[in-house]
Structure 1
Amino acid sequence: MTSATATPVPTAAARRTAPGRVTFGSLVRAEWISLTSLRSTLFSWIIGTVLVILPAGAFAAVYGAQYTDSGQDPAMLEWLPSVGDISMNGFFFAIAMAVVIGSAAFAKEHTTGSLRTVLSAAPKRFGVISAKALVVATATFVATLVAFALAFAAAWFVGGAFGLPTGIDDAVLGAIMPIVGAGIFAAATAVFTLGVAAMLRSETWAVTSALVFVFILPMILATLPWTWGAEVSDVLLGTTGQNLVVAHPAITGELVVDLVLTIAWGAVAFFGGAAVMKRRDA
């Protein structure tokens, strides 16, 4: 006589915790925890924010003092920058912050070996680097918006103490769009550096390469005695991103092209890093 044995039916909880069923949402949460747990990330955010605010307040004080010393001469208003332009003087530090964060998001995990642990739980490498890019871009975008909003407030407050007019006729074009543009520039740069870090697998080389590509290469090309040098410089990330930070009298086709190119540079480096990550061992 034989007895039938019951086959255990996997419960919903067991199915949810089965290996290989890691969702993209869980990857995003894990990457957020990983990013915010890095002390270098927190220090970069804090130091970057301070360095964005300080130039805004300092330049507002300098221009305000000149305006006061002139007896508030209306003729000075023809060349004095607006409060919005003054608040953008620290954009270099915001982009440097984005480079550090984008590089650390991949290179530190690769160096410590924790990337292997992540890939053992989530073998689909494109999903892993996509989660990193989403977290890095979102965090950098929000942090940059906050930093430049505070910089604008500092420039407005310090300039107002000297009686300096804001010089802004349209709040959207003169203040909001440059701040949002700075956020997009920083987010694209962070994703760009993340992709470079995935390709080079070195934090030092990723940071160096990104800074050279964003800041130095456009200047070198622009100074060449050939017209193609300036033309190439105009489409590089450093140039298109800076154009988003400047206040424009209207939304033009050139501004839209700069926006598309800025995002495209981040996408190109991201897909390049994803391709290299897929072919190489962690």
Structure 2
Amino acid sequence: MSSASLAVSGDPLLSAAGGGPRPRFTDLVAAEWIKLRSLRSTYWVLASCVVVAVVVNLNAVRSDFTYIDHPPPPMPGRGPVTYDPIFHGLNQISADLVMLAAAVVGAITVFGEYATGMVRTTFAAVPDRRAVALAKLVVVTAVTLVMGTTVSTVSFFGSNAMLASRHVGLSITDPGCVRCVAAYALIAPVCALVGMALGAVFRHATASVVAVVALLFLVPLLFGGDRYKLLRQIGNTLPGDAQSRLVANPAAPIDFGKYPASVHGSWIALAAWAVVSGVVAVVVIRRRDV
């Protein structure tokens, strides 16, 4: 047996691939970051999503100026109409856009390597598939968290700065505002992890994107309404519904239906989707053949 082979087999710090030092986890994170930012389409999608989502939110608030300046008369049996800055400042249209973009980017980071065959090179250089998958999770979560946080904070502070002249704006210190901003930001990494899990399961561009759209936007339609309690309770645990509940202004008179989700339950639902999706992605990447 040669001295090189003895060194490889005897020293746990040496890589079995070529006798060099094993890459640290920070090296794997750096490599995954290079892969992600080397795809121009990825950061163009993320940057465009941020700009469009913020513009949609701010424009929705701007379009309400006429309504604020000339409020409609109160309906019979109800008090005066009050304006909710959260409803349009952090509206659901932009949230859906962020969810879709984050989930697709998460899926691309997985099925993109399988489609191009780069995954074979990755696993040849780093046989520890679990470490590679965890590095992907860290990078995708961090990038999409930045995206979601940017959309959320700019939309909140920008829309309420616009409303300051109408004296109906909110401050971040007002009850529930921190929760609304945080939930609006966190839906991006949660959906990105869901996308990664689906990308790992299907490993195909079309199938992964269709699965993302179906799970995040079509499946919730099956669990709406208040006719069946069980269906409504299942719907409350889906990512979009949980986020909508958390972003609701606690000071606004919102009707959540007969079977409303709780704030704590919605936080648990988002956390569960993130954890389960991350585990699925790691397990599938580790165990399935290339």
**TM-score, length of structure 2 as denominator length:** 0.81
- Change over 3 Å in CA distance of 1:86–1:174 after alignment to 2: farther
1:170 offset after TM fit, Å?
6.0
User: Which letter maps to 1:256?
Assistant: H
Q: Aligned equivalents of 1:70 and 1:247: distance in 2?
A: 20
* Map of 2:28 onto structure 1: 27
> Pairwise mapping of residues 34-183 of structure 1 onto structure 2 (< 5 A)?
34-69=35-70, 78-82=81-85, 84-89=86-91, 90-160=94-164, 163-166=166-169, 168=170, 171=173, 173-183=175-185
Q: Indicate which of 224, 227, 230 corresponds to 2:229.
A: 227
Contact 1:87 1:148 in 2 (8 A): no
2:239 is aligned, of 237, 240, 245, to 237
Shift of 1:70: 5.0
Residues 140 and 187 in structure 1, CA contact (< 8 A), matched pair in contact too: yes
SS in structure 1 at match of 2:230:
helix
Do 1:64 and 1:164's aligned partners in 2 also have CA atoms closer than 8 Å?
A: no
Structure 2 letter corresponding to 1:28: V
Question: What is the distance in 1 between the residues matched to 2:108 and 2:21?
Answer: 26
Residue 203 of structure 1 pairs with residue 212 of structure 2: no
Residue deviations 1:112-141 (CA, integer Å, cap 9, x gap):
111111111111111111111111111111
Structure 1 residue 262: deviation in Å?
0.8
Distance 1:31 1:68 in 2: 51
Partners in 2 of 1:169 and 1:154 — Cα distance?
Answer: 11
Instruction: Say which SS state the counterpart of residue 136 (structure 2) adopts.
Output: helix
Tell me: CA distance 1:22–1:174, structure 2 relative to 1, closer, same or farther (3 Å): same
- The 3-state SS of whatever aligns with 2:83 is coil
Q: Shift of residue 201 of structure 1?
A: 0.4
**Cα deviation code 1:159-186 (max 9, x no counterpart):** 345x2520x3662644332121122221
Question: Is contact 1:56–1:155 with CA below 8 Å preserved after alignment?
Answer: yes
In the alignment, the residues of structure 2 paired with residue 171 and residue 86 of structure 1 have an alpha-carbon distance, to the nearest angstrom, of: 19
Aligned to 1:186: 188
**Deviation of the 1:225 alpha carbon:** 4.5
Percent identical pairs in the alignment equals 21
Q: Which residue of 2 aligns with 1:272?
A: 280
Deviation at 1:258, TM superposition (A): 1.4
Q: Please name the residue that 2:258 is paired with.
A: none
Distance 1:42 1:154 in 2: 23
Evaluate the alpha carbon distance shift between residue 77 and residue 53 of structure 1 in structure 2; reply closer, same or farther with a 3 A threshold: farther
Distance 2:167 2:174 in 1: 20
Q: Which residue of structure 2 lines up, in the alignment, with residue 3 of structure 1?
A: none
Amino acid at match of 2:235: S
Do the aligned partners of 2:104 and 2:212 also contact (CA within 8 Å) in 1?
no
1:136–1:190 contact (8 Å) kept in structure 2: yes
SS in structure 2 opposite 1:171? coil
Instruction: Give the letter for the 2:270 counterpart.
Output: T
Number of aligned positions between the proteins: 266
Shift of 1:102: 0.6
Cα RMSD after superposing both structures: 3.0
Structure 2 distance, partners of 1:248, 1:69, is 24
Amino acid at match of 1:254: S
Structure 1 gaps of 5+ residues are 1-6
Contact map agreement 1:185 1:242 (CA 8 A) in 2: no
